[in-house]
Structure 1
Amino acid sequence: MDDGSSPPRPERSGTVAAASAEPSQKVSPRTALGACSLAWRAAPGTLAAYAVVTLATGALPVATAWLTKMLLDGLFDGARLSALTGVGAGIAVTGMLAALAPQLIEYLRGELERAVGLLAQDRLFTAVDGFVGLARFEDPAFLDRLRLAQQGGEAAPNQVVDGALGVVRALLTITGFVLSLFALSPVVVALVLASGIPTLLVELVLSRRRARMFWKIGPTERREMFYGDLLTSVEAAKEIRLFGIGAFLRGRMLADRRTANAAKRKLDRREIGAQAGLGLLAALVAGGGLLWAVTAAHAGAVSAGDLTMFVAAVAAVQGGLATLARDTARCHHALLLLDHYLEVTTAGPDLQVRARPRPLPPLRQGIELRDVWFRYSDQHPWILRGLDLRVPRGSALALVGLNGAGKSTLVKLLCRFYDPTRGRILWDGVDIRDVDAGELRRRIGAVFQDYMSYDMSASENIGLGDLDALHDRARIEAAAAEAGVHDTLAGLPHGYDTPLTRLFFMESDKQDPATGVVLSGGQWQRLAIARAFVRDRRELMILDEPSSGLDAAAEHEIHTCLARHRGGQTRLLISHRLGAVRDADTIVVLRDGKIVERGDHHALLAAAGEYARLFHLQASRYQADTPAS
């Protein structure tokens, strides 16, 4: 039921309200520590092996260069063959290790990525599942942060580890060659090292721009995904084809893609210019150093081995500095992404949670709303205004009102998806804010108008209403029978074990009905009702337009079934079809978040107020279609 009271952007969602602002470009030690901790907890042995092998490769170029220098100097100085053979064998060993190391590193990296991805996903969705309310899920800024957290949680820790190890490896290589170069020319060493400083600074600036760009295009990419999902949606396919709006939606999707691509292209072009300038600087330094080395070798100041060492050292130091800058920037960018992940996983509760919640008593007296006011933030209008309402145990209360009256919001408060801004909701005299939200919800069964259709088996679709009943076929079939859907499910190719989707099957299998079936809207609605019925501990049943997708006969059957199986349960019924609520003990009419009328059907008709006007308006449509006798 869309009553127009959905939240625009509820900043009152708690500790994640900062998500609406652009994230800081600063990296805290906490984030770096979080990345390393995540990788270590996921696979300590693999991480240790990966670090050892990666760092060892940093020493191989230096060892190879020194061995090559020794070989050349030995050849020109007339060294013994045995000595030259030993040096040659050393070069062969370092070459073999250099050839094998990348494959081993790739394997260890893959193992680490899989382990970290699994742990990161578990932690992220454990944290998301721990959000008690709905405010964060209805906040676009938080959804952007959550999307970046999904990307950052799986990839960023490995990128941080890779970047950190790459930095250390580059430092090892640079240090080894710098010491070698220093003996030949301290001036060249200073020039080569100085040329690396601009590279490092430019890479860090580009990393910050890249992170800022990804944040800014987040809404654009989310819209693009929305249009893409819409164009491939089974639910939307009929209207898209009937109204001929496929090309229109595709145009919007491509426009958003072009906008995102333009932002990325702009950054790429800046990077090309910066990299070209840095490359020119490196070439000038390397060329000058090489000119000095050739001149010195020609004058006999350095040996042939020294010359090869110099050439290798300049190239290695410049390459190491570039790698150092690139890995530092990559690590910085990964840490910025990981910050979103840590913000989500450490956000804490979104609703007030008592350290010692009170036990929730059995519902013996009823539910009471005392002066309940609600709005999503101080900047938004009031949705509910001073509601006072009592629902005795075992009674049936119906909520009636036009769209935007506040009916959906009231349901959200009863389920404690939000807390009242003012006032209290009492369950047998106990404020529901003082009890565990999970325990409260275990006492509530609900059929929402926007009910879920899970791509799972028929049995699982019902059993998800109470996980204790997931494998209890008797309870599942009893709930299905109450909802009038047992015969339909029993007649499926695999009965209750039939998948209610064809999403997970190969294309060649989709024509086989045994692989999965697709139910009609009315059948899905009955299944949602069965899912609510399977909760045997329910003391409050919320029915939000429970028969909106059913024909008249099925609607009558469902309401008869609900009345028959009421069994002393308290019921809250929301419906725009006033004929469906006429048997309620109390009917409450909401308008602009206030109660304007209350009473039973006959009393409200006699009062000739808002309810009577709406009832006669609906009845006149049917009477107008009735032929005169």
Structure 2
Amino acid sequence: MTHPAQHPVSRPRVAATALRLALGAHRRALAATLLLALVEATGPIAAAWLTKQLIDSLTGYGTREVTATAVALAAIGVLLALLPYVDDLCQGVLTRAVALTAQDRLFRAVNAHPGLDLYEDPVRLDRLRLAQQSGQDTPVQLVQCALIVLRSGWTLVGFAGMLAAVSPVLAGLVLLGAVPKLVAELRLARATAAAFAGVTAGERREAFFSTLLGGTTAAKEIRLFGIGDVLRERMLVERRAVNRIRHRLDVRRLSVNSLPTLLASGIAGGGLLWAVGRVSAGTLTVGDLSVFLAAVASVQGGLGSAVTAVANGHQHLLVFAEYVAVAEGGARPDTARRVAGHLLDRIVLDDVWFRYAPDLPWVLRGVTLTVRAGESVGLVGVNGAGKSTLVKLLCRFYDPEHGRILWDGTDLREFTPESLRDRLSVVFQDFVSYEMTAAENIALGDPALAVRTPDGAPGPEVVEAAREAGVHQVLAGLPAGYDTMLTRGFFGANDRDSGVVLSGGQWQRVALARALLRADRDLFVLDEPTSGLDPDAQAEVAHLIRGLGQGRARLLISHRLSEVRAADRIVLLDGGAVREEGPHEELMRLPSGRYAELFRGQAAGFWEDSSGPEREVAGVQGVEPGREQEVAG
């Protein structure tokens, strides 16, 4: 299922999305935060004015009541001391609500993405990772930037007015002194946003190596092969590369900001000398000087905060565009409207061509194949022949680049992906081991059947699926039965139920049980369903598979040719195309047949006579008729 490349998202749309997130997440917390920002901005202005009145009254220039002024000033000080804690509370509520809403919207969009290109395309995967990171914090950071601009602007207006009352010229110079800093910060914001993608990719690779070094997945091979230092060095290479990018940004920030900062400081220093001279000459009061000092500091600080907030907001908008691209239109919506019905006749692959990207080789090259309702088809071929890719197309994770796949004569593209997938049951070769309870691991195959009995036990469908897959005794015997967590990753040292880790073969049976919950579907696909099982378990599961889904289409993919020989028809994929097709006996009789060659070569490994050398099987001279199934299976 292919999608066009994503286009850049406009900044107004990004800003509107962030605002909608904040409004929709918690309106009262947002309103309280805005109100607190205005109060916090007004407090310093009132405090500076009262300070001037108090100083002038104490030095004989003012006429206001000293005690009342001092009490009012103290009250403002208490209020300004408490407001940050109230503001932290409101912002915490807003931050958590926005992060929750943003995460919900993002993964709703991810779940609605009908194909796998979001995960298998490195560019799209990086975009998804950026969306995950920016979706958590960026909306709140944008709101905080807006609040800083609002608070700084309000403070700036008040103090600029007070400063203009002392010297309009100096007020204008202070304001103009902030313009170079604004330009510098905007340039830095663009550079930071451009470097963020490189930082994210490097950090993702670093996390990959650190996960290998700190997890159980690769622990045995790391110690056996002695590759810990190799992986550690690869991890450090990525970290050093990220550090170099960040260092270059720090150096650029220093060089770009140096001159604007010196200019603003020079204006403030010159203004201070002028004001002190005016006080000495008697044209300004000491209170005026205190107002001037507070005003210059606040105007420059407010301008600096506003400029930084604008620049940071610009940077956050650039980064948050990745979230908007994924969450609001990052993928073309599927326009199919038809609902797939029960398979009545057949599935037809008609001259199907597919490759994962235009610059990659073809995986399927004109595959033409029919799977009839009630028929079992074995799909075989060497690694890379295209077997698993064919399953992805049947599930509509991708669409063919050329050709079509028909479900009772209707192109799969015309069905909604959800309705089509509801007609399938698949055991994937790379099935997932969910870090959940045993019952949940099976019930995920069909959540509608994940009901509990009145006594809290797992539903009968879950237990029956486990029985059919041959894993019921194992799960029932766990410390908490079916409610045992199949992981040890979520518990502390003192937890009584610390979870259980199943073996590979046991996990494969759990995955099979998950698929058996959907055994009534029209197409049952098993991709290497016994690869992790012992010989006895392979024979048991093979017998189960032969009885599965009678009356429904079954597609069995396996490298063990003995598992597919009982299929109604066997299809050999070679080089992305159907090379041979027919029942086992017919394919074995083909002169120079590739299937027969593979079957005999595989079967030879199971039979060796007493004289030592291996003999060919499956009808070759030296093996009694009827023995081929024994030695091959």
State the TM-score, normalizing by the size of structure 2.
0.93
User: By how many angstroms is 1:626 displaced?
Assistant: 6.9
Write the deviation string for residues 105-132 of structure 1: whole angstroms up to 9, x where unpaired. Answer: 1111111001001101100111000001
SS at match of 1:158: helix
- TM-superposed CA distance for 1:351, in Å, is 6.5
DSSP 3-state at the match of 2:518: coil
- Amino acid of the structure 2 residue aligned with 1:490: A
Give 1:79 shift.
5.1
Letter of the 1:617 counterpart? G
Structure 2 Cα separation of the partners of residues 225 and 434 of structure 1: 40
Looking at structure 1, the residues matched to 551 and 611 of structure 2 have their Cα atoms a distance apart, in angstroms, of 41
- Counterpart pick for 1:100 among 61, 68, 82: 82
The answer (yes or no) to whether the contact 1:43–1:116 under 8 Å persists in 2 is: yes
Compared with structure 1, are the counterparts of its residues 97 and 391 closer, same or farther at alpha carbon in structure 2 (3 Å cutoff)?
same
Q: In the alignment, residue 18 of structure 1 is paired with which amino acid?
A: Q
Amino acid at match of 1:178: A
The whole-number CA distance in structure 2 between the counterparts of 1:309 and 1:625 is 106
- Structure 2 residue matching 1:18: 3-state secondary structure: coil
Cα shift at 1:480:
0.6
SS at structure 2 position matched to 1:54: helix
- RMSD across aligned positions (CA): 1.8
Q: Which residue pairs with 1:8 in the alignment? A: none
> CA offset at residue 294 of structure 1?
0.6
Partner in structure 2 of residue 581 of structure 1? 564
Q: CA deviation at 1:537?
A: 3.5
Spell out the pairing of 1:353-502 with structure 2 (5 A cutoff). 353-354=335-336, 357-472=337-452, 473-502=459-488
Could you tell me which runs of 5 or more consecutive residues in structure 1 were left unpaired when the two chains were aligned.
1-11
- For the pair 1:14 / 2:7, whether they are aligned, the reply is no
SS at match of 2:524: strand
Structure 1 CA distance, aligned partners of 2:407 and 2:542? 26
381-390 vs 516-525, greater mean Cα deviation: 381-390
Report the alpha carbon displacement of residue 536 of structure 1 after superposing the two structures with TM. Answer: 4.4
CA distance in 2, matches of 1:431, 1:337: 39
Are residues 392 and 312 of structure 1, via their aligned partners in 2, closer, same or farther at CA, if it must alter by over 3 Å? same
Q: Secondary structure at the match of 1:613?
A: helix
Residue of structure 1 in register with 2:579 after alignment: 596
**2:23 maps to 1:34:** no
1:183 to partner: Cα distance: 1.9
Residue by residue over 1:314-367, the C-alpha shift from the partner in whole angstroms, topping out at 9 and shown as x without a partner, is 11111111111111111112111211111001125556432xx22322112121
Superposed, 1:235-314 pairs within 5 Å as 235-314=217-296
Give me the whole-angstrom Cα distance separating, in 1, the residues matched to 2:468 and 2:56: 93
SS at match of 2:231: helix
1:180-225 CA distance string (max 9 Å, x none): 1112212211211111111111111111111111112322211111
Give me the whole-angstrom Cα distance separating, in 2, the residues matched to 1:459 and 1:180: 71
Q: 1:257 to 1:625 in 2, by over 3 A?
A: farther
**Distance in 2, Cα, partners of 1:267 & 1:279:** 18
Q: 2:618 matched to which residue of 1?
A: none
| CA shift digits 1:425-446 (9 cap, x unpaired) | 1112222211121111111111
Q: Partner letter of residue 521 of structure 1?
A: G
Letter in 2 for 1:278: P
Change (3 A) 1:77 1:423: same
Q: Does the Cα contact within 8 Å between 1:447 and 1:543 map onto a contact in 2?
A: yes
Give the distance between the partners of 1:165 and 1:282, measured in 2 at CA.
24
1:232 offset after TM fit, Å?
A: 2.2
Number of aligned residue pairs: give it: 606
Q: Does 1:615 align with 2:599?
A: yes
> Superposed, which structure 2 residues align to 1:119-130 within 5 Å?
119-130=101-112
Q: What is residue 623 of structure 2 aligned with on the other side?
A: none
Q: Give the secondary structure class of the aligned counterpart of 1:77.
A: coil
| Residues 133 and 351, structure 1, Cα contact 8 Å, conserved in 2 | no
Amino acid at match of 1:31: V
Q: Which moved more, 1:240-249 or 1:426-435?
A: 426-435
Distance in 2 (alpha carbons) for counterparts of 1:249 and 1:198: 46
Q: State the partner residue of 1:4.
A: none
- In structure 1, the partner of 2:124 is 142
Of all paired residues, the percent bearing the same amino acid is 48
Q: Which runs of 4+ in 1 moved over 4 A?
A: 348-351, 624-629
